[in-house]
Amino acid sequence: MSPLILPDPDRGVTSRRNDIVKQLKRLVPEATLIADEEGCRTFESDALTAYRCLPLAVVLPSSTEEVSAILRFCHDNHVKVVPRGAGTSLAGGALPLEDAVVLCLSRMNKVIEIDPSNRVARVEAGLTNIAITEAASKHGLFYAPDPSSQIACTVGGNIATNSGGAHCLKYGVTVNNLLGVRMVMMDGEIVEFGGKHLDAPGYDFLPLITGSEGQLGVVTEATVRLLAAPEGSKPILIGFDSTEAAASCVAAIIAAGIVPVAIEFMDRPAIHVCEHFVPAGYPLDAEAALIVEVEGSEDEIEYLLEKIEDIARDFLPTSLRRSQSPEETALIWKGRKAAFGAIGQISDYICMDGVIPLSQLPKALDEIGWICRKYRFDVANIFHAGDGNLHPLILYNANDSVQLERVELCGGEILKLCVALGGCLTGEHGVGIEKRELMYEQFTDEDIDQQVRIKEEFDPSWLLNPGKVFPIEGRDAQRMRSIELTDLGPEVETGVEVAIEAELAEGHEVP
């Protein structure tokens, strides 16, 4: 039983299902159309797997013109549309609706052009994030945003959620690296925004489109900025005996005028789980560890790492280790990038995405620990510390519906904490359905009304990805309040302690 509800399906649409599928088939004969239950099952959820819904049908177009024809048809027949890339949303942004057609862009995956002189790439929206860099690397160029899911996630999905990644402290997020889009409006009209030039003539629609979670139009092509690949890069791994020390070290590095290309933070449970999964030499005796990476020439890297080590020594690190080889660097990042998967092997989890001002980091981690203990869940923290984007992973058992409901309450409380500390609900995953009902924590009626008015100018009938981002007022809020904290059930056994025990068994010292 899911705590979050979806809009009531339009029975007028679901009852015409066969007819709609038939017409779509005739309309775009070249596109792949999936209408059988087995086939639709593949698309019933995204990476927020706790929520599932079989769509009316799934269509995989191969051109902007097909997207246009499909949207025009759906517009004229009042059929809802859920755009989808690779379905890696952790917030339910691509969750289907019973009365909606899923428009999956994954077949539109071509690199249209790499233009090294102007340092831009034009690609189809269904291309994976990593494929841009793969295509650009022979020119010494790369595409900067690098979300953890970059092997799978698509450019279109990145635009929908304004994806960041480990290296956005220096290079910015998707909105800072997007120069243009080709987009199809809900009525089928094809519009170009931006291009190879910088800055917009008139209003700048790109920031509005970026992060709008597929609610304003369907992006089919993107022009993105490519950057020159750095000469070299090197991480340093620093262990601390408290999260406060680690957090203060991050602030001190930035205060010294250094902006490393990445500063990743791992707490004790995360360190142990990752080390167990990929033996990268993470400091098992530490309460917290930082991976700080700098870029540049060899001289510059040495200079910066020395400065960073000097700063770190003020916070009495338990260990300081520079990567000594490209292999070691790869291993350090492999452990970090595999973290979610590693934790996923020991337990189900929900991954939160709140952002806090950096100065609040020790307080935030302390409170998150307290909240999770209150709800009796284990939590592992692994996140981009430089920008304050927290990713607490709350471990729970997804097969237990009581736990699901409780873990969502726990996550909700953490996000409310982030807002109360001066931050926000989501840094890069998007609101989706997951955080929809929390929007009033951050915004007033007027704030939300303003966003809704924009939505209504672009899509007056609310056919594009409805039920996401904006609260479905009243009903849920009431429901969420009705669960009493006194009725939390038994303590939950998760795998962190098991993993730590396994490390101990292998002879690692754990104080």
Q: Scanning residues 90 to 149, which ones bind another protein (CB under 8 A)?
A: 115-120, 139-141
Q: Map residues 431-470 to x or -, x wherever contact with another protein holds by CB under 8 A.
A: x---x---x--xxx-xxxxxx-xxxxxx----------x-
Using CB under 8 A, which of the segments 77-85, 278-286, 384-392, 404-412 binds another protein? 384-392
Which amino acid makes up residue 249?
A: C
314 binds another protein (CB under 8 A): no
The smaller minimum CB distance to another protein, of residues 180 and 283, is found at: 180
Q: Cβ of residue 176: shortest distance to another protein, in angstroms?
A: 5
The Cα 90–Cα 87 span in angstroms is 9
Nearer to another protein, 149 or 210 (CB): 210
Please report how close the Cβ of residue 231 comes to another protein at its closest, in angstroms: 5
> What is the C-alpha to C-alpha distance for residues 210 and 147, in angstroms, rounded to an integer?
15
- Is 299 among the residues that bind another protein (CB under 8 A)? yes
Per CB under 8 A, the segment of 286-294, 336-344, 404-412, 429-437 that binds another protein is: 429-437
Stretch of 29-37, 68-76, 271-279, 430-438 contacting another protein, by CB under 8 A: 430-438
Question: Among 380, 346, 352, 167, which Cα is nearest to 271's?
Answer: 380
Asked if 478 is part of the footprint of another protein (rule: CB under 8 A), the reply reads: no
Tell which one of 12, 341, 422, 489 touches another protein (CB under 8 A).
Answer: 422
CB of 177 to another protein, least distance (A): 9
Backbone torsions φ then ψ of 106, nearest 5 degrees: -65, -15
Query: Closer to another protein at the Cβ: 149 or 162?
Result: 162
x/- binding map, residues 358-377, to another protein, per CB under 8 A? xx------------------
Q: Is 306 an interacting residue with respect to another protein (CB under 8 A)?
A: no
230 lies in the binding site for another protein (CB under 8 A): yes
CB 340 within 8 A of CB 351: yes
Looking at residue 415, its amino acid is: L
| Tokens encoding 358 | 């950096």
User: Rule CB under 8 A: is residue 496 a binding residue for another protein?
Assistant: no
With CB under 8 A as the contact rule, the residue among 9, 281, 296, 344 that binds another protein is: 296
User: Got the DSSP string for 385-449?
Assistant: TTTTB--EEEEE-TT-HHHHHHHHHHHHHHHHHHHHTT-BS-SSS--TTTTGGGHHHH--HHHHH
Q: How far apart are CA 277 and CA 385, in angstroms?
A: 22
CA distance 192 to 182: 5
The reply on whether position 505 binds another protein by CB under 8 A is no
Q: Which range of residues in 64-72, 104-112, 291-299, 305-313 is near another protein by CB under 8 A?
A: 291-299
Does position 490 interact with another protein (CB under 8 A)? The reply is no
CA distance 222 to 193: 9
Span 197-216, contacts to another protein by CB under 8 A = 197-205, 207-208, 210-212
Within 10 Å of residue 34's Cβ, how many Cβ atoms?
19
**Which residues are CB-neighbours of 418 under 8 A, at least 6 positions away?**
354, 355, 356, 364, 390, 424, 425
Residue span 167-186 as binding mask against another protein, x where in contact by CB under 8 A, dash where not: -xx--xx-xx----------
- Show the binding pattern over residues 322-361: x = contacts another protein (CB under 8 A), - = does not: ---------------------------------xxxxx--
| Contact (Cβ atoms closer than 8 angstroms) between residue 217 and residue 186 | yes
Long-range pairs for 127-132 at CB < 8 Å and ≥24 separation?
127/154, 127/155, 128/86, 128/152, 128/153, 128/154, 128/155, 129/153, 129/154, 129/155, 129/158, 129/163, 132/224, 132/226
- Rounded to a whole number of angstroms, the minimum distance from the CB of residue 113 to another protein is 12
Site for another protein (CB under 8 A): which residue of 83, 423, 466, 467?
423
Give the residue, chosen from 164, 283, 335, 412, that forms a contact with another protein under the rule CB under 8 A: 164
239 near another protein, judged by CB under 8 A:
no
CA distance 407 to 375: 8
Verify binding: residue 196, another protein, rule CB under 8 A. yes
Among 43-51, 236-244, 254-262, 362-370, the segment contacting another protein (CB under 8 A): 254-262
Output the smallest distance, CB 385 to another protein, in A.
Answer: 11
Choice between 446 and 509, CB closer to another protein: 446
Nearest to 465 by CA among 133, 42, 81, 62: 81
Residues 6+ apart with CB under 8 A from 22: none
Q: Which of 251, 398, 480, 483 binds another protein (CB under 8 A)?
A: 251
Angle (CA) 334 337 341, round 5°: 110
Kindly tell me the sign of the dihedral angle through the C-alpha atoms of 82, 88, 93, 99. positive
**What is the Cα Rg of the chain in Å?**
23
